[in-house]
Structure 1
Amino acid sequence: MTKYRIDGAEVNSISDLYEQFNRELMADADWIMGQSLDALNDVLYGVDGAIRDGNPATFVWNDHAHSRETLGFDETQRWMLDKLARPGTFDDRRIKSELDDLRGGVGKTYFELILEVFADHPLIELQLH
């Protein structure tokens, strides 16, 4: 079994989270994962393949409450505004709608989006501590 560890106490930004994902998931690769939910999803498909080959995988996310807080409203809003600052690069209309939802209290935070990515990979066990 492969265990990956995320130290939530060290996650103070989206960038910090991806540093940990890269440390855990990309140690044997000659490239690093970009700060992208799609990139994380793609890399987790590789983990799914290893599981199907008989190597179960578990992510242990210690102090996830700290991560939930730091990847909450403020960091999510900053991330969305950063995307909107680069017109034509992303689906501006969708991001504006998601930002409105976030500001209205019904949108998803970056932490919640990360959990959704993991939920798309039911073979991977995610333990939140």
Structure 2
Amino acid sequence: MTATYVIEGREVTSLDRFWQVIGEAVNGPGGHFGTNLDAFADCLSGGYGTPDDGDFIIEWRDHEASRRALGYDETVRRLDERLGRAHPSNRAAIEAERDRAAAGEGPTVFDWIVEIIEERAPGRLLLD
């Protein structure tokens, strides 16, 4: 039987809140399912609450509310954080990505999350 994990889009008000919502959707109250993009990708590969056979769906209800919350403002904020800890050789690329986001261009945090789900769990994301 296919497991369904529901994300209520209006509850996702920031990336930090997304980690809480997805963690609880998959692993119950107080549950975790990654707290950064790399850990999230690893969790989607199995063994962290999803069925061993990979038979699950992530149903993202009212995803447009999440898309707005995880839009360019949140993307700029996250890229600013990344700049603060980046190796000097990576700074120019992050700054360029940040400048594009500040101009309302390029992928957003929402896009990053969707891309990870589509790469690690193809066909398992339902955007409502």
Same fold by TM-score greater than 0.5: yes
Tell whether 2:17 aligns with 1:16.
Answer: yes
Name the CA distance, whole Å, in 1 between partners of 2:109 and 2:38. 13
**Aligned 1:38-57 pairs, distance under 5 A:** 38-46=38-46, 50=51, 53=53, 56-57=55-56
Letter of the structure 2 residue corresponding to residue 25 of structure 1: V
**Shift of residue 84 of structure 1?**
1.6
1:4 aligns with 2:5: yes
Deviations 1:49-102 (A, max 9, x none): 846x3x511011111010000100101111111222235499433321211222
Aligned to 2:115: 116
The Cα shift of 1:27 comes to: 4.2
> How has the CA–CA distance of structure 1 residues 8 and 73 changed in structure 2, closer, same or farther, with 3 Å as cutoff?
same
Report how many residues are paired. 125
CA distance in 2, matches of 1:121, 1:113: 12
2:84 maps to what in 1? 85
Q: For residue 125 of structure 1, what is the aligned residue in structure 2? A: 124
Identity %: 31
- 2:106 matched to which residue of 1? 107
- TM-score, with structure 2 as normaliser: 0.81
Long gaps (5+) in structure 1: none
Asked whether the equivalents of residues 6 and 25 of structure 2 are also in contact (C-alpha less than 8 Å), the reply is yes
Aligned residues: CA RMSD:
2.8
Please name the residue that 2:37 is paired with: 37
Look up the SS of the partner of 1:61 in the other structure: strand
Q: Counterpart of 2:23 in structure 1: which amino acid? A: N
> Unaligned regions of 5+ residues in structure 2, if any?
none
Match of 1:60 in 2: 59
Q: Which amino acid aligns with 1:38?
A: D
1:107 and 1:87 map into 2 onto residues whose CA distance is: 20
Between the aligned partners of 1:122 and 1:71, the Cα distance in structure 2 is 21
What is the TM-score normalised by the length of structure 1?
Answer: 0.81
